[in-house]
Structure 1
Amino acid sequence: MSNQLYDVIGVGVGPFNLGLAALIEPVEDLNGLFFEQTDQLEWHPGMLIKGTNLQVPFLADLVTFADPTSRFSFVNYLHKQNRLYPFFFFQELQAPREEYNEYLQWVAGQLGNLHFSKRVVDVEELQGDGSHYYKVMVEDMNTGEIEHYNAKHIVMGTGSTPLILDGMEGLPEEDVVHTSRYLYKKEEIVKGDKITVIGSGQSAAEIVEDLLTEQGHYGYEITWLTRSPGLFQLDTAKLPQEFFSPDYVTYFNSLTYEQRKNTLSDLDSLQNGVDPSTLSNIYNWLYHRSIGSNQNDVTIQPVTEVSSIEESGESYMLHCHQWQADDTFTYNTDKVVLATGYKPNVPDWFNNRFAEGVIYEDENLFKVGRNCEIVFKQNRNHKIFVTTNISHSHGTGANNLGLSVSRNIKMINTIAGRMVYPEGEGSIFQQFRMSDRQ
């Protein structure tokens, strides 16, 4: 705690802000601090299922798209851990999820600008010496003391919180659990006679696959209910992947809000489908288990929305609606795993201090510029950047790990007022309007 004016303070330390911290570290004329309320960095610990890989190639690490020579690259992590040859023989472009988490922790352990067990409780806008800056109040989670820091810019990387069903509050976690807590509660979940997984994305599919691998041992029934019209795979073709490029993000951000909103649904298959290998594995399990057996121990039903849940004796009643056939029904189960996604976590201090001055494109969506800066009604040089809840401004790749480096490059170059890292545009084969041609 001091009167020093930092260039940037990051709120939250997940992969996005960790990458930002790693890219700022070697820049001599930039300094920053990053605060995280938990005691260590854990990336989706409840979903680090053995045998699961990332959905993006290992080059989409924290730094490589900005600086392939960085000591914080995934390849250097492998080198330092004496794992280059095993990974080479692994013959996969995607790193295992467990190993990606290890990599993140390895990077975090080398950075002196990260501070854990520190919760940002307020951010106040101040003026001094003719310029504006931010006073950041930070609570030490161990002592309860409040510390004060000053910064020219803020990066809000507060992530998201689980979406849950109506009626789920107060239910025992050993019976009803969100995917974010799956591995923590798996030992209790597999004790149920009937386990229901709700959701259609990658997390739901990985849990169904994981349950299938142990179904023969425990003997439970599996039910998989999804609101989507079907279980569709991610579009992994090469040209569509260019929609995750900096060029496309620049184009997308330049569209009107209505144009962007209408475009997002067209790109859904690039973000919300299931990895083809996961769907293939699930089908293979189902096929092999069906040989010589008439057991009906797996139920998969799409086009079915689960609206709420309530206790029913020693089990739970799901209120369901098959929306295509307009069929409403209830379904009893012993255990429930919710793969229902997440909602943005916008901190109270932002809503209390800054919401009135922000331009909103929709009721809950603030306008975000190309460089990830929140757009205010009155222009300001002291920025509040955001990496949370920006699909409406940066497209379907807003949560893509590869594009996180591109966003960090934009923020660093804006903060520095110069080109610290190349921005990587002009390198894809498509263009998105004729006027973009040079």
Structure 2
Amino acid sequence: MKKDIYDMCGIGIGPFNLGMAALAEGTALNAVFLEKKEAFDWHPGMLLNGSDLQVPFLADLVTFADPTSPFTFLNYLHQKNRLYAFFFFQRLEIPRREYNEYAKWVAGQLSSCRFSSEATDVQYVDGLYKITVNQSETIYARHIVLGTGTKPMLPPGFHVSEDVIHSNFFLQHKAHLQTGSSIAVVGSGQSAAEIFLELLKEKEAHGYTLSWLTRAPGFSQLESGKLGQEVFSPDYVSYFKTLSYETRKQSLDELEHLRNGIDEATLKAIYDELYHRSIYGKDPHVHIQPLTEVTGFESGQLHCRQWQEDTSFDLPADRVVLATGYKPHLPDWFRRMKEEICWEDDTYFQIDDAYRIVWKDNRDNHVFSLTNLEMASGTAATNLGLSVRRNQVILNTIAGEELFQLEQETVFQRFSASPTQKSGK
């Protein structure tokens, strides 16, 4: 029986693989992208009114690769008759809700994107990837692009329940949270700050006590300096890849504030809200505390430890929001291949300069990864703008030719002591 063979199969349709599909649309590559959800929907639990992306609109799905593409954000605005409105909005950042609508608009135009289609199994057979879809259909592809994203990460001792949720599901559970007498938000990043601000503004209408805790030393502002932002550039990623494993690991810790800080506007809004409330005295029902890790939750009590003082205490809380980040989501079929893959450590698999996972059998047909990339791309692993550059590299590699030109020397800084960098991997 003749088999239909795709050049590439993207598994998972988040912003990264959706951008890949949009760029592939204008090429000769035969591609298909699979997503188990019914439609594109990007973190619906965090689409808070008034919240923006932390990157400018040029970091859309395609612009850095092809500003003339019909799938740019500017063309979306044009098609929706919102171009003048965005012009008078006078902001570089896209509202998060509008970014979601933009991505849905792109997905709706791409025949290569198949929703309600879960890759339930993948096997490498005779130089091809055999993909089982929804446990019944079989398709074949020469290459896989793994874009299964992340899943919520919970601190040890915590389990999701009606009263304990991850920030990713905040809006779905907001009404129930606000029926509690005391709400605790845990985390120090942008999501924690946005949720705390939203709950703070509506606190009087519901009468709850509100706490904000983080194990971080403080509530740090996102690096907004122009030179500081240049670590989110192709040049820095190229430099980062040359470093040894230990140096890359150390660098992730050193640059953490660049990725997980809070926008200046959000911090200002929180402080202004607190200040106006304090005119007639500080609100005793608002509690903010850094240097504090949470160790458990039971019977309306949040177990805490101020780690610098090594002092444990309990904080009243009958509702808890854990804005504690995410970890890579690697599907079961991928985990079954673990022994066939070369790993850097227990968490990160080896990835070459073209984002191909390194296999022990040195196969010619590859699995490209858009997830679990921190040790390959540094703090820019989840940056929306750099995801476009990554997609250019992958599509060029699969096509075996330069479909997209890759610009070099894109920033003013030089990160290496020598213009010629030698790999330290």
TM bucket (normalised to shorter chain) is over 0.9
**Alignment TM-score, normalising by the size of structure 1:** 0.94
Return the offset for 1:69.
0.3
Return the offset for 1:121.
1.1
Q: Output one character per residue of 1:139-177: Cα deviation in whole Å (capped at 9) or x when no partner.
A: 1xxxxx5111111100111111111244543632xx221
Could you tell me which residue of structure 2 aligns to residue 70 of structure 1? 69
Could you tell me which residue of structure 2 aligns to residue 432 of structure 1? 415
Contact kept? 2:160, 2:166, Cα under 8 Å: no
Return the offset for 1:2.
7.2
Stretch of structure 1 that moved more, 289-298 or 186-195: 289-298
**Distance in 1 of aligned mates of 2:172 and 2:214:** 23
Is residue 134 from structure 1 mapped to residue 133 from structure 2 by the alignment?
no
Is residue 418 from structure 1 mapped to residue 408 from structure 2 by the alignment?
no
Q: Output one character per residue of 1:256-313: Cα deviation in whole Å (capped at 9) or x when no partner.
A: 1111011111211210111111101100000001111343121000010002222x1x
Could you tell me which residue of structure 2 aligns to residue 142 of structure 1? none
Could you tell me which residue of structure 1 aligns to residue 290 of structure 2? 302
Could you tell me which residue of structure 2 aligns to residue 6 of structure 1? 6
Alignment-mate amino acid for residue 9 of structure 2: I
Return the offset for 1:219.
2.1
Stretch of structure 1 that moved more, 187-196 or 46-55: 187-196
**Distance in 2 of aligned mates of 1:370 and 1:287:** 50
Contact kept? 2:121, 2:333, Cα under 8 Å: yes
Q: Secondary structure at the match of 1:375?
A: coil
Q: Secondary structure at the match of 2:414?
A: coil
**Distance in 1 of aligned mates of 2:229 and 2:363:** 35
Could you tell me which residue of structure 2 aligns to residue 374 of structure 1? 357
Contact kept? 1:166, 1:309, Cα under 8 Å: no
Q: Secondary structure at the match of 1:64?
A: coil
**Distance in 1 of aligned mates of 2:420 and 2:5:** 42
**Distance in 2 of aligned mates of 1:31 and 1:234:** 40
Q: 1:42 to 1:268 in 2, by over 3 A?
A: same
**Distance in 2 of aligned mates of 1:295 and 1:160:** 37
**Distance in 2 of aligned mates of 1:290 and 1:170:** 34
Contact kept? 1:370, 1:394, Cα under 8 Å: no
**Distance in 2 of aligned mates of 1:217 and 1:426:** 53
Is residue 292 from structure 1 mapped to residue 287 from structure 2 by the alignment?
no
Return the offset for 1:75.
0.2
Aligned to 2:253, which of 253, 265, 268?
265
Moved over 4 A (4+): none
Could you tell me which residue of structure 1 aligns to residue 144 of structure 2? 154
Is residue 404 from structure 1 mapped to residue 387 from structure 2 by the alignment?
yes
Could you tell me which residue of structure 1 aligns to residue 210 of structure 2? 222
**Distance in 2 of aligned mates of 1:9 and 1:204:** 35
Matched ranges for 1:352-371 at <5 A: 352=336, 354-371=337-354
Return the offset for 1:424.
2.4
- Residue ranges of structure 1 left out of the alignment (5+ in a row): 140-144
Is residue 207 from structure 1 mapped to residue 195 from structure 2 by the alignment?
yes
Q: How many residues align?
A: 421
- Residue ranges of structure 2 left out of the alignment (5+ in a row): none
Q: Output one character per residue of 1:321-360: Cα deviation in whole Å (capped at 9) or x when no partner.
A: 11001111122212111101111111111111x2112111
